[in-house]
Amino acid sequence: MPCADWSYQRACPGVAVVGPFEGSPQSRSFPFPVPTPPGPWRPSRKGCASGSRDSPTSFRMTLDVGPEDELPDWAAAKEFYQKYDPKDIIGRGVSSVVRRCVHRATGHEFAVKIMEVTAERLSPEQLEEVREATRRETHILRQVAGHPHIITLIDSYESSSFMFLVFDLMRKGELFDYLTEKVALSEKETRSIMRSLLEAVSFLHANNIVHRDLKPENILLDDNMQIRLSDFGFSCHLEPGEKLRELCGTPGYLAPEILKCSMDETHPGYGKEVDLWACGVILFTLLAGSPPFWHRRQILMLRMIMEGQYQFSSPEWDDRSNTVKDLISKLLQVDPEERLTAEQALQHPFFERCEGSQPWNLTPRQRFRVAVWTVLAAGRVALSTHRVRPLTKSALLRDPYALRPVRRLIDNCAFRLYGHWVKKELCGTPGYLAPEILKCSMDETHPGYGKEVDLWACGVILFTLLAGSPPFWHRRQILMLRMIMEGQYQFSSPEWDDRSNTVKDLISKLLQVDPEERLTGEQALQHPFFERCEGSQPWNLTPRQRFRVAVWTVLAAGRVALSTHRVRPLTKSALLRDPYALRPVRRLIDNCAFRLYGHWVKKGEQQNRAALFQHQPPGPLLSIGPEEVKDSATITEDEAAMVLG
């Protein structure tokens, strides 16, 4: 979605609207758009209108209406009011409001985005920029109107103080919401979605238009579950042979050439191929339920993108065909010249029908023989169901995720049991639950748990404070609970390289699976980690001893001061080889990444399907003054060197 637009306060599941670029010039300063941060299973939609998927015609007001949400007066929007009747609010942005509206003549429902463009809110230069950007996007939307898989701009109105954009009202919501509900899609369903998406992209490219912001949030579903591509805020015309250099899009979907172009002034630029890279990321995400490129350290995630580092890991890809893996690998080519075009992708075997690309031309005799073979094959399949080798208890306990039906059953049961991460009957948060709590809830004969559970949680907190990520995490909740019950955690590098063995010992004694071996609160306070550097008791020194200590201290301080001038200089090759080996450099990288990307969620090293979409705009970029320009440029060059290394 365009930066800081109403898209992050859009309609709730069941109701989704789409609109073009938000009219705030400040938001254009953000190079990345801002999708709504989802929860672990389902995105939170507080403050949005609610609509049911089963009864799409029902609406319920849940948005608080403030003074800024009041409807424009008749004089300022006479032409719009004559044709449409605005209703309840279904979304709100920084400087716009999205309402459901009804066409007075036909009674059909649409979504209208109302933007106030007055001198009270924006400067004259900003007003002109907003109007020009909106006109440019409106022109593109009208140029691609009529395609079955692209959102339709119904009407647009402009007055001296307001702009109105009327769109289709998409009641089934976003593809992202649908994926959140389903976790992962089947190849059959993914084939239908991706074929429609690639047809839309092919149509755009044929008209010399590049979208530059393809992602599940910008793909809407209509009443028939057919997709509509939306949000053309970053779209632009691109003539054959022309290249772009602007950095825009969502980080996890950026093509390598966009990143390289922003870091290397000599780079020739990028073209329409960036949309096909994003299609590859979407295809991977729909099938796996998690993005191909993700790392909790954002600078390393960008390096993964630039090097094309991704894996078809188990168990998500065990039951996926080699055909779809081949298509993904050809879309996620780092070299844009080797990447498939939209037309080539549509010709890939993944999109061919099972019986072939052309229907069979059979004689009546051949059709009869095919029917006989089909009946015989169906009979054999029916008989084979009674000959399946029974699943033993030992095999099930050894690897329950080896079988796809069992795996899905476990996931469904886990979701029903724990709901939205927290089971109502259990007290606590899953990541901090002690093993005996989980065992007690699963075994009626378990003796129960006591005060020791608080010390386990203290160990998890201590680990998290020092590492920046929890000790127990897996994107499959049932496996995370197994890690807790077995006490599986690691002091992995580089977070723990510069931590003392004392604190590691304290954590290991707090995270004891057996509560009887776990430290108590009093015992933990007596641990050496909490002792003062000079000992648990003050020194009892004579005046002579104190004088000698003072002399030693002065001599040591002098040697330390001199040693700072004798430190071996850090070479560029050593820094590029392992930037995280040095603690100051590691902290500098983390601080720069935080300033650039805002508050991204840190979920450990494992991939998390929802975490990729939890971005915020790089706010500090707005506050850079003249005195900060030099420092900001230096940091950017350092980051570029690390990623390009």
Taking the alpha carbons at both ends of the chain, their separation in whole angstroms is 31
C-alpha distances out from residue 485 to 239, 508, 524, Å: 59, 14, 22
Q: Which one of the listed residues 5, 177, 213, 231 is annotated catalytic?
A: 213
Q: How many CA atoms lie within 13 A of 454 on its CB side?
A: 6
**241: number of Cβ within 10 Å:** 6
C-alpha distances out from residue 304 to 178, 419, 574, 644, Å: 27, 33, 20, 11
CB 513 within 8 A of CB 464: no
**Tokens standing for 263?**
């870091």
C-alpha distances out from residue 558 to 156, 552, 555, 563, 564, Å: 74, 10, 5, 9, 10
Pairing of strands 162-168, 153-158: antiparallel
Which of 615, 478, 611, 610 lies closest to 181, judged by CA?
A: 610
- Measure the CA–CA gap between 344 and 602, rounded to whole angstroms: 38
Which of 491, 488, 469, 492 lies closest to 590, judged by CA?
A: 469
- Ligand-binding annotation for 113, yes or no, is yes
CB 303 within 8 A of CB 259: no
Residue 176 makes CB contacts below 8 A (sequence gap 6+) with 35, 38, 43, 215, 216, 217, 219, 613
Query: What DSSP assignment string belongs to 38-70?
Result: P-SSS---TTS-B--SSSTT--B--SPP-GGGS
Which of 343, 331, 346, 173 lies closest to 253, judged by CA?
A: 331
CB 213 within 8 A of CB 5: no
- Measure the CA–CA gap between 268 and 437, rounded to whole angstroms: 59
**Tokens standing for 23?**
């009219």
**Tokens standing for 644?**
């390009």
CB 605 within 8 A of CB 296: yes
Beta bridge partners of 174: 220
Does the active-site annotation cover 213? Answer: yes
Beta bridge partners of 150: 229
CB 615 within 8 A of CB 35: yes
- Measure the CA–CA gap between 68 and 90, rounded to whole angstroms: 15
Go through the chain and tell me how many residues it has.
Answer: 645
Q: What is the CA radius of gyration of the chain?
A: 30
**Tokens standing for 295?**
């790392």
Strand (E) or helix (H) holding 98:
strand 96-103
- Measure the CA–CA gap between 112 and 125, rounded to whole angstroms: 25
CB 162 within 8 A of CB 170: no
Name the one residue in this structure whose structure tokens are 């109403």.
Answer: 6
Report phi then psi at 112, rounded to 5: -120, 135
- Measure the CA–CA gap between 618 and 429, rounded to whole angstroms: 31
- Measure the CA–CA gap between 308 and 321, rounded to whole angstroms: 21
Q: Binding site membership: which residues?
A: 113
Q: Binding site membership for ATP: which residues?
A: 113
Residues taking part in catalysis: 213
